[in-house]
């Protein structure tokens, strides 16, 4: 193949890919990641040829990882190409080895994070629209083999996407042999990273040992395997549609919390449920956290368990908390009681519970009335003040607490009462108890005890109110969400306990 033909071949292939996926619009800017190796150098030259035709501008971005003594030579080489082509050049120098050690990841992963962070920062600062990387068909096939050997979902086997968000891969349908032929025929120099020729990493082993053997027996395997991957993409698209619908109906998230409707996912088949959860995990954590099958298995186990209360710690310090029909993933630490809170009240007062969770009011009313005897409002209760005189104690629950609920005979374990009423574990730990002697008079916002009922003989009434805070109120609403991406459309709850700033049940949106 002559020089002109190989140039036209690669140019046409890249042009077709850019147009097919609508990667670049006229008048926009593109950040081109260039390491100095053959793939990125070829990408830069091809995009430079297309830039005048398609009316876009470029900035060359290079990251010096500081891993090899000759890395500065690579940077100077890339700078020289940019200057020759008349393209702006930007560089970032990083200590990738220190980043890998500090974040507990591999050198490869640390380098990847560093590059994409720099590319995005540069894109934003120069008001460019896209970031172009030099991934090509061989990279996709290498990734396919890696995931087959390590285990993967259908989505993982679909390889590297041509475009994802602002990231574009114009050479994704071009093989490495075509790229090398273009560079050789055009006499374009490039740098070789000697570590890429080794077989000490899995990807290098596949590239340098496995592919030559397969090519010897199946010379056209790249194209045939590429067609297989395209077929998988079609089936993946259908599966994604099903799981996406489930996601929209059963999962919502804010910046700090991912909320999953347990019942909805329990009813769903394992595959769409698993896919919906995995999509939600990446939406919530971003691409820096690597989620694997072990994490998904743990979440599915908690989701399908009969145990209504479970807790686990996931990657990046994300807390998994099962609260009956709700599964929460949060970046916040679990709520716990504030120390060993205990307070003795000598008389009527207003009390703020430690942590600012609740404010309780204690008032004496001089005239008792029989109509106050039945505790209809869980946020305000009445007692015979002479049967339950001050001092009165406030404290958090302790192991072994027992409670005599209003209207029931005998005592019950407080823990069992709260579990039966489906009070989440995190809420149970921080509920203040109103106590006289050893008797629990009231669990604010939950239930009154049998102590000191108001009757026709009552002369003075003790009124205890929850005037501010977050009483758990049970509302059987079901789940509904119009959009998984817009916080304003997120559901208020899943038919479980909500934390409200007022005592009215809000309209479900």
CATH number at residue 105: 3.40.50.620
Look up the domain containing 306 and give its range.
245-330
Mark whether 100 and 195 lie in a shared domain.
Answer: yes
Q: Which of 9-13, 119-123, 151-155, 475-479 has the lowest mean pLDDT?
A: 475-479
Which residue is associated with the tokens 């340098």? 208
Bridge partners for 436 per DSSP: 439
pLDDT surpasses 90 at 328: no
Q: How many CB atoms within 10 Å of residue 247?
A: 24
Question: Coil, strand, or helix at residue 327?
Answer: strand
Task: Identify the burial level of 436 via C-beta atoms within 10 angstroms of its C-beta, where 0-12 means exposed, 13-18 middle and 19 or more buried.
Answer: buried
Report the phi/psi class of residue 449: left, alpha or beta, with left for phi > 0 and alpha for psi in -120 to 50: beta
168 and 21 in contact (C-beta within 8 Å)?
yes
Mark whether 316 and 414 lie in a shared domain.
Answer: no
Domain presence at residue 91: yes
* Number of domains into which the chain is organized: 3
Mark whether 215 and 263 lie in a shared domain.
Answer: no
67/97 Cα distance (integer angstroms): 7
Mark whether 60 and 114 lie in a shared domain.
Answer: yes
DSSP annotation string for 161-212: -SEETTEE-TTTTS-HHHHHHHHHHHT------GGGG--SSHHHHIIIIIHH
Of the candidates 340, 503, 329, 326, the residue with the CA atom closest to the CA atom of residue 424: 326
Domain presence at residue 407: yes
CATH number of the domain that residue 286 is part of: 3.30.465.60
Question: Coil, strand, or helix at residue 350?
Answer: strand
pLDDT surpasses 90 at 32: yes
Assign 399 a pLDDT band (cuts: 50, 70, 90): confident
Mark whether 47 and 151 lie in a shared domain.
Answer: yes
Mark whether 215 and 257 lie in a shared domain.
Answer: no
Mark whether 322 and 358 lie in a shared domain.
Answer: no
Locate 157 and state its tokens. 């086997």
Assign 477 a pLDDT band (cuts: 50, 70, 90): very low
Of the candidates 226, 56, 83, 76, the residue with the CA atom closest to the CA atom of residue 141: 226
Residue with more model confidence, 318 or 247: 247
Mark whether 292 and 362 lie in a shared domain.
Answer: no
Considering 279, 301, 330, which residue would you say is the last residue of a domain?
330
For residue 193, the model assigns a pLDDT of 80
Assign 480 a pLDDT band (cuts: 50, 70, 90): very low
118/459 Cα distance (integer angstroms): 75
396/439 Cα distance (integer angstroms): 13
For residue 446, the model assigns a pLDDT of 86
- What average pLDDT score do residues 453-468 get? 88
Mark whether 301 and 375 lie in a shared domain.
Answer: no
304/302 Cα distance (integer angstroms): 6
For residue 376, the model assigns a pLDDT of 60
- Average pLDDT, whole number, for the chain? 83
Domain presence at residue 360: yes
Mark whether 65 and 192 lie in a shared domain.
Answer: yes
CB-based contacts of 98, cutoff 8 Å, min separation 6: none
Domain presence at residue 493: no
105/114 Cα distance (integer angstroms): 12
Domain presence at residue 487: no
Domain presence at residue 363: yes
Mark whether 408 and 312 lie in a shared domain.
Answer: no
In this predicted model, what pLDDT tens digit does every residue of 118-148 receive, in sequence order?
999 999 999 999 999 999 999 999 999 999 9
180/507 Cα distance (integer angstroms): 63
328/315 Cα distance (integer angstroms): 15
Give φ, ψ of 310 to 5 degrees. Answer: -145, 155
Domain presence at residue 418: yes
Domain presence at residue 505: no
In this predicted model, what pLDDT tens digit does every residue of 159-216 receive, in sequence order?
888 999 999 999 999 989 899 999 999 999 999 887 777 777 888 899 999 999 999 9
Q: Which of 24-33, 50-59, 493-502 has the lowest mean pLDDT?
A: 493-502
Mark whether 322 and 353 lie in a shared domain.
Answer: no
In this predicted model, what pLDDT tens digit does every residue of 332-371 receive, in sequence order?
655 444 456 788 887 888 888 776 567 899 998 876 554 5
Locate 117 and state its tokens. 């962070």
Assign 312 a pLDDT band (cuts: 50, 70, 90): confident
DSSP annotation string for 28-49: -EEEEE--SSHHHHHHHHHHHH
pLDDT surpasses 80 at 240: yes
- What average pLDDT score do residues 280-286 get? 88
Which long-range contacts (C-beta less than 8 Å, at least 24 apart) are formed by 188-196? 188/41, 188/42, 188/45, 189/41, 190/36, 190/37, 190/38, 190/41, 190/42, 191/35, 191/36, 191/37, 191/41, 191/73, 191/74, 191/77, 192/37, 192/38, 193/35, 193/37, 193/68, 193/74, 195/68, 196/37
For residue 507, the model assigns a pLDDT of 25
């Amino acid at each position: 193949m002559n020089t002109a033909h190989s140039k036209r071949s690669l140019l046409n292939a890249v042009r077709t890919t850019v147009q097919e996926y609508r990667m670049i619009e006229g008048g926009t800017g593109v950040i081109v990641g260039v390491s100095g190796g053959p793939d990125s150098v070829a990408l830069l030259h091809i995009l430079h040829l297309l830039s005048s035709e398609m009316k876009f501008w470029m900035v060359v971005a290079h990251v010096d990882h500081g891993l090899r003594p000759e890395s500065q030579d690579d940077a100077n080489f890339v700078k020289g190409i940019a200057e020759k082509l008349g393209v702006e050049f930007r560089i970032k120098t990083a200590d990738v080895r220190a980043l890998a050690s500090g974040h507990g990841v591999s050198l490869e992963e640390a380098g990847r994070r560093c590059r994409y962070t720099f590319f995005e920062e540069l894109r934003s600062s120069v008001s460019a629209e896209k970031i172009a990387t030099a991934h090509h068909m061989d990279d996709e096939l290498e990734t396919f083999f890696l995931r087959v050997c390590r285990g993967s979902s259908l989505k993982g086997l679909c390889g590297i996407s041509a475009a994802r968000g602002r990231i574009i891969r114009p050479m994704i349908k071009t093989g490495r042999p075509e790229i090398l032929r273009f560079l050789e025929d055009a006499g374009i120099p490039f740098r070789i990273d000697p570590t890429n020729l080794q077989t000490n990493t899995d990807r290098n082993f596949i590239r340098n040992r496995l592919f030559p053997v397969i090519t010897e027996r199946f010379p056209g395997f790249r194209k045939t395997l590429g067609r297989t991957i395209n077929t998988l993409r079609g089936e993946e698209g259908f599966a994604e549609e099903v799981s996406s619908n489930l996601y929209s109906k059963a999962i919502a998230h804010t910046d700090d919390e991912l909320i999953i409707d347990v019942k909805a996912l329990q009813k769903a088949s394992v595959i769409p449920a698993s896919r919906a959860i995995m999509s939600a995990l990446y939406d919530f954590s971003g691409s820096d956290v690597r989620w694997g099958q072990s994490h998904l298995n743990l979440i599915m186990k908690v989701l399908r368990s009969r145990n209504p209360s479970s807790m686990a710690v996931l990657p990046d310090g994300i807390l998994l908390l099962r609260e009956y029909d709700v599964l929460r993933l949060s970046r916040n630490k679990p709520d716990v009681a504030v120390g060993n809170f205990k307070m003795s009240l000598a008389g009527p007062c207003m009390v703020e519970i430690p942590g600012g969770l609740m404010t309780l009011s204690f008032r004496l009313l001089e005239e008792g009335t029989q109509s106050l005897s039945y505790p209809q409002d869980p946020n305000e209760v009445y007692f015979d003040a002479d049967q339950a005189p001050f001092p009165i104690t406030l404290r958090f629950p302790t192991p072994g607490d027992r409670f005599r609920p209003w209207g029931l005979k005998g005592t019950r374990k407080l823990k069992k009462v709260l579990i039966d009423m489906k009070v989440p574990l995190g809420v149970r730990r921080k509920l203040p108890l109103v106590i006289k002697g050893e008797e629990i008079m009231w669990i604010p916002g939950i239930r009154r005890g049998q102590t000191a009922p108001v009757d026709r003989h009552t002369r003075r009434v003790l009124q205890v109110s929850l005037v501010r805070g977050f009483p758990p109120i049970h509302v059987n609403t079901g789940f509904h969400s119009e959009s998984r991406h817009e916080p304003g459309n997120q559901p208020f709850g899943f038919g479980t306990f909500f934390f409200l700033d007022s005592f009215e049940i809000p309209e479900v949106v």
